[in-house]
């Protein structure tokens, strides 16, 4: 029997019980729509956190002294880069590089009369375009100038938490390069709000020269932070800039914790994906099995007329494929519409983002389109549906024609 005729019979059989058929298609559509939305959302959260960290803190590539360890935030001269301006100029001359500048990192304590808070101090080249995101995020005052010896910029969130006003004098305490405690008073020149709570409440910016003087690290820097025109050039640029006494790190090297978290999250969601697909496949298999019970005599007649078992099985597989494909098309439409909404509007999580620690989650997080993932979800949904439909198809052909004809 021709394939087209088998498909016509399968299509006709699906129309016998429209309610059951529609409900099965809805189950497939809702299942796949949920998977698309869920995977688009988790991909968006992870990518957004990574891009926030790259944009505001780590860049695409960093050059550090070979002995520098980020966890210790060391200010010892042996762990810092000597002549960082020359290294930054060398990096900036590469065609792949958008911006490169030295930065000095230090840990400190911000003190007011009523409160204190531990935070990260960034001594930066204030003229570099690396810090355009901070300039764009200024909500009060202005970004510090290179010759400002007594000014800092802090996050508005930190200012609100500690009751600090624009222009107020605050005290900073550090342990300098000599291992001695030191403190100085600074005026708050400006307030910024990047929308990343964990960053807005823990970062302070001051000119690089002032930070070097304050920490007794004259002429040295913790790293050269490099932003590229294309993120995909990170490995090549890191290899080009490698040299004796220094180490070059890409954004992947620096963000191993976040990448491992992302890998774990995707593994967890893969298990959920499989569970949802199996549930959907069971619904379709149940629909087909019920159809088999209703059509036992019909199967017997078709077999008596010469239809082979493999043709009967193919007919049920075509029914399953029709249910699956129609449901997948509807599910993709629903899921993509949901992803488009979350990619544009996002979900506001507010202060929950601050509990993420070093992960740079924003107050509003967005979904992301990942076409390859959506295609694989659709493909495997159809495959699992077809595999699940093999049992009803096998059940339909296992009866002898004479026995099927006697069925009530």
Model confidence pLDDT, tens digit, residues 257-275: 777 777 777 777 788 888 8
Model confidence at 172: pLDDT above 60: yes
Q: Which pLDDT score, from 0 to 100, does residue 221 have?
A: 93
43-71 pLDDT, tens digit each: 888 888 888 888 888 899 999 998 888 77
235-254 per-position pLDDT tens digit: 999 999 988 889 999 988 88
In this structure, what are the phi and psi dihedrals at residue 62, rounded to the nearest 5 degrees? -130, 145
| Mean predicted confidence (pLDDT) in 184-212 | 90
pLDDT at 334: 93
Burial, 46: exposed, middle or buried (Cβ in 10 Å; 0-12, 13-18, 19+)? buried
Model confidence at 336: pLDDT above 90:
yes
Mean pLDDT of 178-204: 89
Highest mean pLDDT among 74-83, 308-317, 384-393: 74-83
What separation in angstroms does the CA of 284 have from each of 21, 28, 56, 288, 321?
9, 8, 49, 6, 10
147: pLDDT confidence band, cut at 50, 70 and 90? confident
pLDDT at 408: 45
Q: Closest by alpha carbon to 291, among 8, 26, 2, 12?
A: 12
How far apart are the C-alpha atoms of 390 and 309, rounded to whole Å?
Answer: 13
pLDDT band at 383 (very low <50, low <70, confident <90, very high): confident
Q: How many alpha carbons fall within 13 Å on the CB side of residue 47? A: 13
pLDDT value for 301: 57
Q: What is the pLDDT of residue 195?
A: 84
Domain ranges of the chain: 3-53+258-405, 67-244
Q: What is the mean pLDDT of residues 141-162?
A: 91
What does the pLDDT read at residue 389? Answer: 77
Average pLDDT over residues 182-192: 93
Q: Whole-number mean pLDDT of the chain? A: 83
For the chain, the residue count is 408
Give residue 307's pLDDT band: very low, low, confident or very high (50, 70, 90): low
Reported as a pLDDT band with limits 50, 70 and 90, residue 352 is low
The pLDDT-based confidence of 405 (bands split at 50, 70, 90) is: very low
Run of H or E including 136:
helix 132-136
Looking at the DSSP bridge assignments, the partners of residue 348 are: 364
Q: What are the φ and ψ backbone dihedral angles of 11, each rounded to 5 degrees? A: -65, -40
80-127 pLDDT per residue, tens: 999 899 999 999 999 999 999 999 999 999 988 888 888 899 999 999
């Amino acid at each position: 029997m021709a394939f087209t005729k088998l498909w016509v019979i399968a299509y006709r059989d699906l129309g016998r019980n429209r309610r059951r058929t529609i409900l099965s298609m809805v189950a497939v559509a809702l299942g796949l729509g949920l998977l698309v939305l869920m995977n688009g959302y988790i991909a968006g959260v992870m990518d957004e956190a990574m891009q926030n960290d790259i944009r505001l803190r780590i860049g695409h590539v960093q050059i550090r002294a070979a002995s520098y360890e980020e966890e210790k935030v060391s200010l010892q001269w042996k762990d810092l880069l000597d002549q960082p301006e020359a290294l930054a100029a060398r990096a900036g001359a590469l065609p792949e590089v958008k911006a490169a500048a030295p930065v000095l990192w230090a840990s400190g304590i911000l003190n007011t009369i009523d409160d204190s808070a531990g935070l990260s101090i960034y001594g930066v080249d204030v003229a570099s375009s690396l810090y355009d995101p901070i300039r764009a995020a200024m909500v009060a005052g202005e970004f510090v100038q290179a010759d400002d010896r007594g000014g800092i910029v802090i996050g508005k969130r930190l200012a609100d938490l500690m009751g600090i006003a624009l222009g107020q004098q605050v005290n900073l305490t550090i342990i300098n390069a000599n291992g001695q405690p030191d403190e100085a008073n600074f005026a708050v020149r400006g307030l910024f709000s990047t929308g990343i709570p964990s960053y807005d409440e823990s970062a302070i910016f001051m000119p690089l020269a002032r930070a070097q003087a304050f920490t007794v690290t004259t002429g040295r820097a913790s790293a050269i932070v490099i932003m590229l025109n294309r993120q995909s050039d990170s490995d090549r640029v890191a290899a080009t800039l490698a040299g004796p006494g220094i180490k070059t790190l890409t954004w992947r090297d620096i963000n191993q914790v976040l990448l491992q978290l992302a890998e774990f999250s995707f593994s967890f969601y893969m298990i959920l994906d499989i569970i949802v697909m199996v549930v959907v496949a069971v619904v379709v298999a149940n629909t087909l099995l019920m159809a088999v019970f209703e059509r036992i005599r019909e199967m017997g007649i078709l077999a008596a007329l010469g239809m082979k078992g493999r043709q009967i099985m193919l007919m049920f597989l075509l029914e399953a494929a029709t249910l699956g494909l129609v449901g997948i098309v509807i599910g993709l439409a629903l899921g993509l519409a949901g992803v488009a909404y979350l990619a544009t509007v996002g979900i506001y999580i507010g202060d929950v983002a601050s509990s993420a620690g070093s992960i740079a989650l924003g107050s509003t997080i967005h979904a992301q389109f990942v076409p390859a993932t959506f295609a694989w979800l659709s493909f495997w949904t159809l495959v699992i549906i077809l595999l699940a439909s093999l049992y009803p198809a096998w059940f339909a052909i296992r009866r002898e024609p004479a026995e099927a004809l006697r069925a009530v």
